[in-house]
Structure 1
Amino acid sequence: MNAKEQISSAQMAILMYQTVLGTAILLLPSATTALAGRDMWLTPIIGSVCGFVMVWVAYRLHQYYPDQSIFGYMESILGKYISKIVGFVFLLFNLHILGATVRDYSEFIVGNFFKKTPLIVVAASMVLVCAFAVRAGIEVIARCVQLFIPIVLLLLLLTIFFIIPDMKLTNLQPFLENGLVPPIKGSLVVQGWFCQFVLISYLYPTLKDPHKALKWAHISVAAVTFTMVIMNLAILLLMGTLAGRIIYPVLFASRYIMLADFFEHVEAMIMMIWVLGTFSKLSLFYYTFAVGAADWLKLTSYRSIVLPLGVLITVMSIWVSNNLQELAHFISTSGTFYILTGFVVFPILLWAIASVRRRLSQP
């Protein structure tokens, strides 16, 4: 790791905020409405528990093994040979998640805006741009996200503001019609995004003020929760339970906007939110994947493998699914348990084993 590559805990919080929300804003309202109905706005509040838990797990592992990423202390916890096998499986898991994210982005862009552009062109162009950022380092990625976040938030606020006249408070009723079970089911999908806060494990070695990291991580989780609740409420008040039948309800909502017969067709705002959010998310995931692969291969620098890994990510984005409907079904069903296994169960097991070994080693 280059010693000059350092970011602050506040930058880490902003980076994680944009990473988690990068794809959640467009996809979550549909998935949560399908499962929780009118109470879908409660799902981020319940699901945020997963985010706080993963922040705590990452913090405890950092305390046990300072200045090491997850692949660094995996060997200390599991041993040399087992960690190699488990590490390889974890790398494949990360590659699959990256491929699915790129495919989701590409399907949205091609399906709604550039219908005659080959899917592979859209996917490869985004991966290439992210590769430049990853090769430049985590500091450049963090600064890019800092630059983009005001734009994304402004566009989101404008979208919500312009659809206020079409909102109906009656769409909130009846409250908890079927009890807490539907919101809890819907929160499982939301946890698939909140569990991504475990990526903080890769950022701890780059922090110049790690003593502030836990506070800023909690702020980031709270900010993500608040944004998800506001966005879900806006979609619910506009569409009601119809949102559960639309893959991209936020894009659909933007088509309601029409002011003074000249301000309309503002889908470009949603596309910009999607592109900037996906760039932020992919860049961090790509960075952690490259750093993890370099640690697994015992390389001195991850930069030499960034472009080859980009080719793998692009190919995986084509292999990961046959079409958008299949990918959307996977994300909202078995994909939730799949990502929770890799980003929740596995890190918690590492922490549990590390805690037991430390206690047994004490006299």
Structure 2
Amino acid sequence: MSRQIKESLTVSPYLLWFMIHGTQSGIAMLSFQSRNIKGAQQDSWLSLLLVGLSLHAVVWIIYAIMKHADGGDILHLHRQLFGKWLGGAMNLLFYGYMLLFIVYQIRSYMEVIHIWAFPTTPLWFVCLLILLTAVYIVTGGLRVITGICFFCVVIPTLLLVSIYFPLQYAHWTNFLPLLNHSPREYAQSAFHSLNLFYGVEFLLLLHPFIKHPEKSRKWAHIAVAHSTALYLIVAIVTLAFFNVQQLEHTIWPTLILSKVARLPFIDRFDYVYVFNWFIVILPPVCMAMWAGTRILRQVTPLRSKPLVWFTCGMSFVIIAVLQGPKTIDKLDSVVTWAGLVLLYVYLPLLCLWVHIVQRYQNRRAAVEGG
């Protein structure tokens, strides 16, 4: 049984849809197409779909694990299974993942702002602006973060209207020939699609903050299905507009697609994308900062507010160090591998271990009771 959380700190089950989808709709949505084609090329949309479907299995695993957590989240489960010191060390590793998540979102968006809009503005200023906004939101609590996540669901969905313009120049023959790649090539494209869906792992910490968490399962699956449908539509439109050779030399295909839109009252519609993405990256940054603060609360005796500022400072220092033209590609690779290990290796093994321990305890209880 999970520990009781004050009702004023909890959220309704249906809001999990916005929270998970909000954390998944990050900076990767602007550039995933150029990486996703590595391997399956014009069939890369199929790899993306398969990754989205596999996330439903990950959600099932998370709920199966959380059912056995005495504290309701993975932080208490680590100590429950591995003891105070090893469990605390594993929680600190999880905190490192949260820092990596924050750094990846902000550093990638800084690059977009620097190249696309403000080439003379110091990068540290953009970084500080995002971090201070995130700190302000996080100090308001989880319910405020949930409200920001709602806007992240609405804005990318409304921007889908703009795909009407590139569809007028679609070349559907770009998808031919169909299904002519090897399993290894599909797997390669699937690997490059993974970072689109990172964010579902926050459920490991959000679980005790949901009213009636057993009723929230369907909303988690709806969030993953929403993200999958959104990315699949964008990927198909991109592949219809660009051919594979063009995509290989395009850094931000989603922004290029937005330039096709012509409206009488907006000359550069791509600027709408660039500046609205400030709101889009806030939910994953805020959620990771909130999660990192919660982890440190379990490891240290400090209160939340100084820990929020500590996470903010750590993120700023790491981002300041990560300079250079190849930083984004290296960050993307590290984040992709870290998420792959967490979601598809560690969580299934943890689920297996939890059930082994549970079966052992049940047998022991039966022997002692008999």
Pairwise same-fold verdict (TM > 0.5): yes
Aligned residue among 74, 78, 81 for 2:82: 78
1:170 and 2:173 matched: yes
| TM-score between the two structures when normalised by the length of structure 1 | 0.92
2:67 pairs with 1:63: yes
Q: Which residue of 2 is the match for residue 316 of structure 1?
A: 318
| Residue of structure 2 equivalent to 1:29 | 33
What is the alpha-carbon distance in structure 2 between the residues aligned to residue 281 and residue 303 of structure 1? 19
Alpha-carbon distance, 1:226 to partner: 0.7
Aligned CA distance change for structure 1 residues 184 and 99 (closer, same or farther; 3 Å): same
Q: In the aligned structure 1, how far is the partner of 2:120 from the partner of 2:198?
A: 36
Instruction: Give 1:185's aligned residue.
Output: 188
Q: How many residues align?
A: 358
The structure 1 residue matched to 2:50, chosen from 40, 46, 49, is: 46
- Per the alignment, residue 296 of structure 1 pairs with 299
Counterpart of 2:67 in 1: which secondary structure?
helix
- Aligned residue for 2:348? 348
RMSD of aligned Cα (Å)? 2.0
State the match for 1:102 in structure 2: 106
Residue 145 of structure 1 pairs with residue 146 of structure 2: no
Q: After TM superposition, which residue ranges in structure 1, 4 or more long, deviate above 6 angstroms? A: none
Instruction: Tell me which residue corresponds to 1:336.
Output: 336
Task: Provide the rounded CA distance (Å) in 1 between the counterparts of 2:60 and 2:198.
Answer: 11
Task: Report the alpha carbon displacement of residue 263 of structure 1 after superposing the two structures with TM.
Answer: 4.9
Distance 1:340 1:178 in 2: 23
Counterpart for residue 366 of structure 2: none
Query: Unmatched 5+ residue regions in structure 1?
Result: none
Q: Percent of aligned pairs with the same residue? A: 21
Take 2:276 and 2:60, find their aligned partners in 1: how far apart are those partners?
Answer: 30
Pick closer, same or farther for the CA change 1:292–1:338 going to 2, 3 Å. same
| Post-superposition offset of 1:93 | 2.8
- TM-score, scaled relative to structure 2: 0.90
1 CA distance for matches of 2:350 and 2:362? 19
Residues 147-187 of structure 1: per-residue CA shift (max 9 Å, x gap): 343233112x2221122211111111111232443222211
SS in 1 for 2:145: helix
Secondary structure class of the residue paired with 1:293: helix
SS at match of 2:40: helix
Provide the C-alpha distance between the structure 2 equivalents of 1:8 and 1:357, rounded to a whole number of angstroms: 31
**How far has the Cα of 1:334 moved from its partner?**
5.2
Structure of greater Rg: 2
Amino acid at match of 1:209: H
Residues 102 and 284, structure 2, Cα contact 8 Å, conserved in 1? no
Amino acid aligned to 1:323: G
Q: Show structure 2 runs of 5+ residues with no match.
A: 364-370
Quick check: 202-211 or 90-99, which moved more?
A: 90-99
